[in-house]
């Protein structure tokens, strides 16, 4: 079932087109990644999904309902983790979460238990009496997440939740995203960090200039560019290397020899590195270095758009 | 509709009340009805307002002359009149209710009730009408788009048929030319040699044998030529596509003072005739745009790359680019063409100006 259906969504700011005829569907249970450079239109799209921004054209349906016609229903089922921290510095962590959960209509015992659950989830239960002033950047981000999940939404939207934080907190956040997903939440995750998206997202849309350039699983996206990867093996001497024998290994498409380097084209996902290495061991050919060049999402983005993700 | 109901109501009350001025009352009513029917036939705003004003006056006279109940017709006429001159809803409502202060007390309640009902029905009617008009417009627009798309499909079809026909024609010309040039000449040559050998057969046997051998050689060559001609039957689409693109770019370079370079990479055979058509049109458009807008650029690079599942064509200049640009008909055209093949266009002005067309390759 599709939790979110966007059709021909358009948003203009004056003559600047921030989102340009965008169509996409997010299925239930996915971690859907929006990958794009700064200013590609990710946040604008998210703000329109969550009802913070009015669209110029197109339709957004969540759980089969038009978002602008059922704003209360939609807001009940969305948890938004905004890019800018949205927490009150002069409320304690507990009060912050409790305040936001209260806005969603939670009351009494339910409010208390959900607040504690959310704080436990992001690992801030022990600090529930502390003020965010004393928190590190990463902890503030985690508190920001807790505020968005206490009402147990079906769809959690995270807009660049890992910008400018320490590696440990980042790891923690990524893990909690996956845990939330296992608990049944659908997640939309935007980032311009390719590694994060590649690591956790089950489906990815590459966004550029307000358009979806390509979408699919990471394998599908990579396959747009190429179906093979390159393995470079440096050996001491190539006299005893039998190219045909290497070609016979399943998945190997082509083998070329250049001085001491053997270049092996092999299918993505063939998992034949062990077999290739054992060929060299069995034939007592000494391997000096081994290098593997696999296309990643950064390459996909670069190839499709001609720019890197970090380009502003 | 609401007017009819009102009139009916007034008539009934009028009759039940057994008012003394029955004749006057009926006259006014008939007048009112005919006036209001005529209004719908009129188009000009001033005349319509005039008629409405007259009908308001008639109601007023009827109130005084026949029966005060006629005042119930007022709100609707006032609403209609105001609606012609203002878009705000509150002004007509105020006007429509205002007579309540000038009428007899026993009629006030009924008047208010009728006025509110009239206002409600009138507003809803107006709202529905607007909605109806909007829907109608959208329907029209969709019909238009639909027609355009059908036309486009049809055009594509024709293009494919035409290009297939062109291919056939070119092939036929080529084959007939080749048969004439190579095979025809060979057979004629062989024939002459054989004729000569026939004459020499009894005079000089050795010479005759030599001539015959020549004829055999020429015939063999001819057969080889036929084989080659048939083998070269199909020029690959790659040749047609990329060569035509080259031609376009050469023409452009010849006409304009910008160095334009075409590079390509990957298995160009995978791009079909439709896709070449889009690529050629988009490239031409992008080049024209560069001429129009990027005056300070000196170089344009056109790069065709066939990737695993898509083909990417980038036209990029080394000018100043543009952070913001308005999407003109040109870019929209490129987008539409690409979308018809399931592709995308990326227009980027951050580093020079570049237009990238991405088209998915048909999976075999």
Domains observed in chain A: 2-223 (3.40.50.300), 227-294 (3.30.70.980)
Q: Which residues pair with A233 in a beta bridge?
A: A262, A290
Is B113 domain-assigned?
Answer: no
pLDDT in tens, A18-53: 998 899 999 999 999 998 888 888 889 999 998 888
Report whether A260 contacts A234 (CB < 8 A): yes
**Locate tokens 């021909």: which residue?**
A8
CA distance B231 to B223: 12
Residue of A8, A39, A224, A299 best to disrupt the B interface, most CBs of B under 10 A: A224
Q: Are residues B203 and B264 in the same domain?
A: no
Q: Are residues B222 and B244 in the same domain?
A: no
Please give the C-alpha separations between residue B284 and each of A3, B160, B239, B329, in angstroms, as whole numbers.
42, 20, 19, 14
Q: Are residues B350 and B293 in the same domain?
A: yes
On the 0-12 / 13-18 / 19+ scale of CB atoms within 10 A, A10 is middle
Q: Are residues B84 and B14 in the same domain?
A: yes
Q: Are residues B316 and B219 in the same domain?
A: no
Closest CA to B48 of B81, B72, B92: B81
> Does A105 score more than 90 pLDDT?
no
H or E element that contains A193? none
On the 0-12 / 13-18 / 19+ scale of CB atoms within 10 A, B289 is buried
Residue of A nearest to B353 (CA): A306
Q: Are residues B292 and B306 in the same domain?
A: yes
Which residue range forms the structural domain that includes residue B200? 166-231
A150-159, A223-232, B68-77, range with greatest mean pLDDT: A150-159
CA distance A307 to chain B (A): 9
Higher-confidence residue of A220 and B326: namely: A220
Question: Which tokens in the block code for residue B141?
Answer: 């627009």
> Does A156 score more than 90 pLDDT?
yes
Is B121 domain-assigned?
Answer: no
Is B142 domain-assigned?
Answer: no
CA distance A177 to A175: 5
Q: Are residues B301 and B211 in the same domain?
A: no
What is the residue-level pLDDT of chain B in tens, covering all 364 positions?
Answer: 666 777 777 767 766 666 667 777 778 778 888 888 888 787 788 888 888 888 888 888 877 777 777 777 777 778 777 777 777 778 777 877 787 777 777 778 888 888 888 888 888 888 898 999 999 999 999 999 999 989 888 888 888 888 888 888 887 887 788 777 777 888 888 888 888 888 888 888 888 888 888 888 888 888 887 777 776 655 555 556 788 888 888 888 888 878 888 888 888 888 888 888 889 889 988 988 888 887 788 889 999 999 888 899 999 988 887 777 777 788 888 988 898 888 989 888 888 888 999 999 876 4
CA distance A41 to chain B (A): 13
Query: Do B327 and A17 lie within an 8 Å CB cutoff?
Result: yes
Residues of B in contact with A15 (CB under 8 A): 324, 326
Give me chain B's average pLDDT, please: 82
Residue of B nearest to A220 (CA): B309
CA distance B36 to B29: 11
CA distance B98 to A157: 54
Looking at the predicted complex, does its ipTM rise above 0.90?
no
Is B18 domain-assigned?
Answer: yes
Residue of B307, B349, B354 best to disrupt the A interface, most CBs of A under 10 A: B307
Question: Which tokens in the block code for residue B325?
Answer: 């640009």
Last residue of a domain, one of B184, B199, B231: B231
Q: Which of residues 293-332 of B touch A (CB under 8 A)?
A: 305, 307-310, 312, 314, 316, 324, 326-327
pLDDT of residue B144: 93
Residue of B nearest to A21 (CA): B335
Residues of A in contact with B358 (CB under 8 A): 213-214, 304
CA distance B339 to chain A (A): 11
Question: Which tokens in the block code for residue A284?
Answer: 């007592």
Closest CA to A251 of A230, A235, A269, A239: A269
- Find the mean pLDDT for residues A91-110: 91
Interface of A with B (CB under 8 A): 15-17, 208-209, 211-214, 223-227, 303-307, 311-312
Angle subtended at Cα A278 by Cα A272 and Cα A279, rounded to the nearest 5 degrees: 95
Query: Do A306 and B356 lie within an 8 Å CB cutoff?
Result: yes
Q: Is B358 on the interface with A (CB under 8 A)?
A: yes
Q: Are residues B94 and B175 in the same domain?
A: no
Residues of B in contact with A227 (CB under 8 A): 308
Nearest by CB to residue A223, choosing from B308, B350, B354, is B308
Q: A312 pLDDT band (50/70/90 cuts)?
A: very low
Is B132 domain-assigned?
Answer: no
Residues of B in contact with A303 (CB under 8 A): 305, 307, 312
Residue of A nearest to B324 (CA): A16
Q: Helix, strand or coil for residue A21?
A: strand
Residues of A in contact with B347 (CB under 8 A): 209
Q: Helix, strand or coil for residue B350?
A: coil
Query: Do B344 and A305 lie within an 8 Å CB cutoff?
Result: no
Nearest by CB to residue B324, choosing from A15, A227, A312, is A15
CA distance B73 to B81: 13
Is B177 domain-assigned?
Answer: yes
C-alpha B307: how far from chain center: 31
Nearest by CB to residue B346, choosing from A15, A209, A224, is A209
Query: Do B358 and A303 lie within an 8 Å CB cutoff?
Result: no
* Signed CA dihedral, B348, B349, B351, B354: sign only: positive
pLDDT of residue A311: 55
Report whether B329 contacts B305 (CB < 8 A): no
Q: Are residues B187 and B268 in the same domain?
A: no
CA distance A1 to B88: 45
H or E element that contains A300? helix A297-305
pLDDT of residue B87: 73
CA distance B297 to chain A (A): 19
Question: Which tokens in the block code for residue A67?
Answer: 């978002």
End-to-end CA distance of chain B: 64
CATH number of the domain where residue B346 is located: 3.30.565.10
pLDDT of residue B235: 52
> Does A92 score more than 90 pLDDT?
yes
Domains identified in chain B, total number: 3
Nearest by CB to residue B358, choosing from A15, A16, A304, is A304
- Find the mean pLDDT for residues A98-106: 90
Kindly provide the b/e burial profile for residues B202-215, where b requires at least 16 CB atoms within 10 angstroms of the residue's own CB.
eeeeeebeebbebb
End-to-end CA distance of chain A: 36
Query: Do B346 and A211 lie within an 8 Å CB cutoff?
Result: yes
User: What does pTM read for this prediction?
Assistant: 0.62
> Does A236 score more than 90 pLDDT?
no
Residues of B in contact with A312 (CB under 8 A): 350
CA distance B282 to B286: 6
CA distance B200 to B73: 124
What DSSP assignment string belongs to B307-324?
Answer: -SSEEEEEEEE-S---SS
pLDDT of residue B348: 86
Report whether A215 contacts A26 (CB < 8 A): no
Q: Are residues B25 and B52 in the same domain?
A: yes
Is B115 domain-assigned?
Answer: no
For residue A237, which phi and psi values (nearest 5 degrees)? -145, 150
Last residue of a domain, one of B84, B103, B122: B103
* Signed CA dihedral, B247, B253, B256, B260: sign only: positive
Is B340 domain-assigned?
Answer: yes
Q: A88 pLDDT band (50/70/90 cuts)?
A: very high
Last residue of a domain, one of B64, B85, B103: B103
Show Cβ contacts of residue A262 under 8 Å, excluding neighbours closer than 6 positions: A232, A233, A234, A235, A238, A241, A246, A255, A256
If you count residue pairs, one on A and one on B, with CB atoms under 8 Å apart, how many are there?
51
Q: Are residues B203 and B96 in the same domain?
A: no
Please give the C-alpha separations between residue A139 and each of A61, A125, A199, B252, in angstroms, as whole numbers.
33, 11, 22, 59
From the CB of residue B158, how many other CB atoms can be counted at a distance below 10 Å? 10
């Amino acid at each position: 079932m599709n939790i979110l259906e966007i059709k021909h969504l358009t948003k203009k700011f004056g003559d600047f087109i921030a989102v340009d005829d965008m169509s996409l569907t997010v299925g239930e249970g996915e971690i859907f990644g929006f990958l794009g450079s700064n200013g590609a239109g990710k946040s604008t799209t998210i703000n329109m999904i969550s009802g913070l921004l009015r669209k110029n054209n197109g339709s957004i349906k969540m759980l089969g309902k038009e978002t602008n016609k059922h704003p209360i229903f939609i807001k009940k089922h969305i948890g938004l983790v905004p890019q800018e921290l949205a927490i009150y510095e002069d409320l304690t962590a507990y009060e912050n979460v409790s305040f936001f959960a209260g806005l969603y209509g939670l009351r009494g015992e339910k409010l208390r238990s959900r607040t504690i659950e959310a704080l436990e989830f992001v690992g801030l239960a022990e600090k529930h009496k502390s003020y965010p002033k004393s928190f590190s950047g990463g902890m503030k981000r985690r508190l920001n997440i807790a505020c968005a999940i206490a009402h147990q939404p079906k769809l959690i939207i995270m807009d660049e939740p890992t910008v400018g934080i320490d590696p440990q907190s980042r790891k923690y956040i990524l893990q909690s995203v996956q845990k939330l997903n296992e608990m049944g939440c659908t997640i939309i995750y935007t980032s311009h960090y390719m590694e994060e998206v590649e690591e956790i997202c089950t489906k990815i849309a590459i966004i550029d200039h307000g358009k979806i350039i390509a979408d699919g699983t990471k394998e599908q996206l990579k396959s747009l560019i190429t179906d093979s990867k390159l393995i470079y093996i440096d050996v001491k001497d190539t006299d005893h290397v039998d190219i045909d024998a290497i070609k016979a290994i399943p998945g190997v498409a082509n083998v070329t020899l250049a001085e001491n380097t053997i270049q092996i084209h092999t299918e993505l996902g063939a998992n034949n590195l062990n077999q290739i290495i054992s060929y060299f061991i069995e034939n007592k050919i000494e391997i000096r270095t081994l290098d593997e060049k696999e296309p990643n999402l950064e390459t996909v983005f670069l190839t499709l758009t001609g720019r890197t993700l970090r380009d502003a | 509709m609401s007017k009819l109901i009102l009139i009916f109501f007034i008539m009934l009350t009028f009759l039940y009340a057994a008012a003394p001025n029955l004749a006057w009352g009926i006259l006014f009513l008939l007048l009112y009805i005919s006036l209001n029917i005529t209004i719908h036939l009129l188009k000009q705003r001033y005349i319509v307002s005039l008629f409405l004003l007259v009908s308001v006056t008639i109601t007023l006279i009827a109130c005084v002359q026949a029966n005060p109940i006629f005042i119930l017709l007022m709100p609707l006429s006032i609403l209609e009149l105001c609606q012609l001159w203002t878009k705000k809803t509150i002004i007509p409502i105020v006007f429509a209710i205002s007579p309540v202060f000038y009428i007899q007390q026993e009629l006030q309640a009924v008047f208010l009730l009728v006025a509110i009902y009239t206002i409600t029905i009138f507003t809803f009617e107006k709202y529905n009408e607007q909605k109806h008009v909007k829907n109608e417009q959208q329907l029209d627009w969709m019909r238009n788009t639909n027609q355009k798309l059908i036309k486009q499909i049809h055009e594509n079809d024709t293009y494919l048929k035409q290009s297939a026909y062109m291919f056939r024609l070119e092939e036929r010309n080529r084959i007939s030319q080749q048969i004439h040039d190579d095979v025809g000449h060979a057979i004629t040559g062989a024939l002459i040699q054989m004729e000569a050998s026939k004459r020499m057969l009894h005079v000089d046997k050795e010479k005759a044998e030599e001539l015959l051998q020549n004829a055999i050689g020429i015939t063999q060559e001819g057969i080889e030529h036929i084989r080659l001609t048939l083998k070269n039957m199909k020029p690959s689409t790659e040749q047609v596509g990329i060569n035509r693109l080259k031609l376009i770019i050469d023409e452009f370079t010849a006409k304009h003072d910008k160095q334009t370079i075409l590079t390509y990479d990957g298995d160009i055979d995978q791009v079909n005739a439709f896709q070449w058509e889009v690529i050629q049109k988009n490239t031409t458009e992008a080049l024209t745009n560069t001429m129009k807008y990027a005056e300070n650029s000196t170089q344009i690079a056109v790069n065709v790359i066939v990737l695993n599942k898509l083909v990417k064509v980038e036209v990029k200049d080394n000018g100043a680019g543009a952070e913001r640009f308005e999407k003109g008909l040109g870019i929209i055209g490129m987008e539409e063409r690409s979308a018809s093949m399931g592709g995308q266009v990326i227009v980027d002005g951050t580093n020079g100006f570049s237009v990238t067309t991405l088209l998915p390759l048909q999976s075999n």
